[in-house]
Amino acid sequence: MSDDTAEILRRVWARRRDDVLARVDAIDAALADGRDDADREEGRRQAHMLAGSAGTFGFPVASEVARALERALEAARPPDDEQRAQAQRLRAILEGEPQT
């Protein structure tokens, strides 16, 4: 990746970062105890979008984690500590710098 391309990626990420982290907030909310099906579906939808876009922003591992969370939220079982830990990992990755 050229220096110009890397700089463009950093600028785009700076503009989109808050929106992306808001998606993680929706996933966190979906994994909270006592959430209804609508909350879980919204979390699944946000995880799906992150799985598709995080790699574009330079976060390929975040795409994998988001995909795993999407699958977990599709399941009819209650959220567990592993899913919550994955959501924390997703946030930590996305709060870092993109790979260029």
Return d(Cα 80, Cα 36) in angstroms, integer: 15
Domain limits for position 62:
3-94
Structural contact between residues 21 and 92, judged by C-beta atoms closer than 8 angstroms: no
pTM, two decimal places: 0.89
39 domain residue, yes or no? yes
Cβ neighbours for 93, distance < 8 A, ≥ 6 positions apart: 59, 61, 62, 65
pLDDT at 61: 97
How many structural domains compose the chain?
Answer: 1
pLDDT at 37: 86
pLDDT at 75: 85
pLDDT at 3: 81
pLDDT at 17: 94
Over its length of 100 residues, how does the chain's per-residue pLDDT go in tens digits?
Answer: 678 888 888 888 899 999 999 999 999 999 987 778 888 999 999 999 999 999 988 899 999 999 999 999 998 788 899 999 999 999 999 999 888 6
30 domain residue, yes or no? yes
CA contacts within 13 A on the Cβ side of 75: 12
68 domain residue, yes or no? yes
99 domain residue, yes or no? no
52 domain residue, yes or no? yes
